[in-house]
């Protein structure tokens, strides 16, 4: 038993000696490696260092500058695309927010809110967008559509909005909004044109976007002709202008105009509209009143 213990002790001593030798070799190798690294650092200068930099790629600063430049180009492209889209559809968005209500592997439900303008008409639209993925395809549906507009003077358009919200037809809303806005702009440009051309005759009871243009010659007191230019919108989104001539003549002014002529004025104006179009028909009435 004692002999076995002595043999084990001897083996442990041998192993300890080997460990010490290995430690010494490791320290020597580490010192040699550090010396080699110093020599390499000293040598990697001038053309050699430039070559290594080229092979290893750009530095971190150069990479950041390249990324920032690329992002700037993408933002400029998006801004240019948004500008083109605004010019094409006439709708300018001021803000757009999205809130995720539900998100899973196959379904995504978001609450979106957009505000903007189409010419002089301001709007705010809220709706839920649901997207269901089936393989590589996806199906998107709109629900809970709510449109807010200042439609106090747009009764016909208010009726159309109720129909759009009921059907959640966002595409029909924007398409009709653009057409409706264009027809209102046509009316405003025409009214302003005649006000500048005949300032003594043409006036507006409200403002330049009013539906009514008053014709009142200063030398014919008590005789007022009004042009009522409405823009009608059906529930299906059909936009049509409706222009009527209204007469208002006091008893004192009736002696200047025979009754049959006043009674036939509205019908005659509609004939002028069909033959000449709005601008020419309006100018004919204004010139006749001036004379």
Instruction: Report d(CA 223, CA 257) in Å as an integer.
Output: 9
Using an 8 Å Cβ cutoff, are 248 and 226 in contact? Answer: yes
pLDDT: which is higher, 202 or 264: 202
Q: Percent of the chain, pLDDT > 90? A: 14
- How confident is the model at residue 33, as a pLDDT? 58
Question: pLDDT category, 256, cuts 50, 70, 90?
Answer: low
Instruction: Report d(CA 227, CA 248) in Å as an integer.
Output: 11
Residues 137 and 189 both lie in one domain = no
Question: pLDDT category, 216, cuts 50, 70, 90?
Answer: confident
Task: List alpha helices for 155-209, DSSP H.
Answer: 155-167, 170-197
Residues 190 and 284 both lie in one domain = yes
In a domain, 133, yes or no: yes
Residue with tokens 């100018």: 283
In a domain, 282, yes or no: yes
What is the arithmetic mean of pLDDT over 213-227?
Answer: 77
- How confident is the model at residue 127, as a pLDDT? 92
- How confident is the model at residue 113, as a pLDDT? 92
In a domain, 191, yes or no: yes
Closest CA relative to residue 124, chosen from 144, 95, 100, 153: 95
For 153-198, the pLDDT digits (tens) are: 567 788 888 889 999 999 899 889 989 988 988 998 999 999 999 8
pLDDT: which is higher, 198 or 64: 198
Domain end, chosen from 99, 132, 150, is at: 150
In a domain, 123, yes or no: yes
In a domain, 21, yes or no: no
Its pTM surpasses 0.85 = no
**At 99, which CATH number?**
2.20.130
- How confident is the model at residue 84, as a pLDDT? 67
pLDDT at residue 232 greater than cutoff 50? yes
Residues 130 and 187 both lie in one domain = no
Question: How many residues comprise the chain?
Answer: 291
Expressed as residue numbers, the domain containing 144 is 90-150
Residues 280 and 189 both lie in one domain = yes
- How confident is the model at residue 38, as a pLDDT? 47
Number of compact structural domains in the chain: 2
Residues 237 and 286 both lie in one domain = yes
In a domain, 125, yes or no: yes
Residues 189 and 283 both lie in one domain = yes
Taking only Cα atoms into account, the Rg of the chain, rounded to an integer number of angstroms, comes to: 41
Closest CA relative to residue 135, chosen from 169, 174, 106, 156: 106
What is the arithmetic mean of pLDDT over 19-35?
Answer: 65
Closest CA relative to residue 216, chosen from 229, 200, 228, 193: 200
- How confident is the model at residue 86, as a pLDDT? 62
| Through-space distance between the first and last CA atoms of the chain, rounded to whole angstroms | 144
In a domain, 4, yes or no: no
Residues 146 and 201 both lie in one domain = no
In a domain, 223, yes or no: yes
Residues 100 and 141 both lie in one domain = yes
E-strand ranges in 40-178 read 91-103, 107-118, 121-134, 137-149
Residues 190 and 146 both lie in one domain = no
Residues 267 and 217 both lie in one domain = yes
């Amino acid at each position: 038993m004692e002999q076995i213990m002595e043999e084990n002790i001897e083996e442990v001593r041998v192993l300890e000696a080997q460990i010490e030798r290995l430690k010494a070799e490791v320290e020597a190798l580490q010192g040699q490696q550090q010396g080699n690294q110093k020599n390499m650092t000293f040598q990697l200068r001038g053309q050699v260092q430039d070559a290594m930099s080229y092979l290893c790629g750009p530095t971190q600063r150069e990479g950041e500058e390249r990324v920032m430049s690329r992002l700037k180009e993408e933002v400029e492209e998006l801004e240019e695309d948004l500008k083109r889209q605004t010019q094409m559809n006439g709708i300018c968005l001021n803000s757009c927010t999205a809130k995720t209500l539900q998100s899973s592997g196959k379904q995504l439900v978001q609450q979106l809110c957009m505000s903007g303008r189409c010419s002089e008409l301001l709007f705010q639209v809220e709706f839920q967008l649901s997207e269901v993925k089936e393989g590589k395809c996806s199906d998107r549906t709109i629900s809970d559509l709510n449109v807010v507009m200042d439609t106090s003077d747009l009764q016909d358009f208010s009726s159309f909005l109720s129909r759009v919200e009921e059907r959640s037809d966002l595409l029909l809303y924007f398409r009709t909004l653009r057409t409706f806005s264009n027809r209102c702009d046509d009316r405003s440009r025409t009214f302003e044109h005649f006000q500048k051309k005949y300032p003594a005759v043409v006036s507006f009871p409200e403002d330049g976007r009013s539906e009514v243009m008053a014709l009142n010659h200063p030398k014919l007191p008590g005789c007022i002709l009004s042009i009522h230019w409405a823009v009608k919108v059906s529930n299906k989104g059909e936009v049509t202008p409706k222009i009527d001539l209204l007469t208002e003549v006091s008893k004192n002014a009736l002696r200047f105009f025979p009754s049959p002529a006043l009674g036939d004025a509205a019908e005659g104006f509609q004939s002028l509209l069909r033959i000449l179009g709005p601008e020419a028909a309006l100018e004919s009435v204004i010139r006749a009143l001036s004379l």
